[in-house]
Amino acid sequence: MRQMDTKSLINYIALKILGGSDYILDALEEYLVNGEGPATVAYKYNISKHQLRGYAQRIIEKSGNEIRAKKVIPILKQISQDVKPIVKRTEVGLYTCELCGTTLAKEDTEEHVRRNHKDVLSATVKHMMEKLEEIKKSQQKTVILTSASE
């Protein structure tokens, strides 16, 4: 069985959110976890079915399998709650980087973040990893408490 690549998974999600695709986890939750139709979900988030399936495929690959992906999506949502995009969509359908003012096409936003705002990306990944550790610790406590009271 493939191992879960946590760092790579978090890096992928952080880059998506910073690059302006902050709907990705909501879309994946509806599609993969809640089992809604790809056409419905894609339409709601204004992406193609192909893109949605691509996101799902990446998450499944990085999680190791689909069952784990379904479990990991709510956790990813939790640890990315306060991560906000630095690239935002403008009225004319282009994207603007709020940190340096560069105007970008949608397909270039993630590359821009990766190249020009590496520090922000690293800090975001670090923040998410720390939140994940907190969750792990609190879950361990819960397990200990449960077994102690039995």
Name every residue whose Cβ is closer than 8 Å to that of residue 86 and which is 6 or more positions away in sequence. 18, 19, 97, 98, 99, 113, 117, 120
Rule CB under 5 A: choose which of 67, 94, 100, 105 binds Zn ion. Answer: 100
Smallest gap, in angstroms, from Cβ of residue 150 to Zn ion? 54
Rule CB under 5 A: choose which of 75, 99, 129, 132 binds Zn ion. Answer: 99
Which window, 52-60, 73-81, 116-124, 135-143, contacts Zn ion (CB under 5 A)?
116-124
What percent of the residues of the chain are helix, what percent strand, and what percent coil, each to the nearest 5? 70, 5, 25
| Type of residue at 15 | L
Asked if 47 is part of the footprint of Zn ion (rule: CB under 5 A), the reply reads no
138 vs 142: CA distance, rounded Å: 6
Smallest gap, in angstroms, from Cβ of residue 142 to Zn ion? 41
Asked if 75 is part of the footprint of Zn ion (rule: CB under 5 A), the reply reads no
- At 37, is the secondary structure helix, strand, or coil? coil
Binding region for Zn ion (CB under 5 A): 97, 99-100, 102, 116
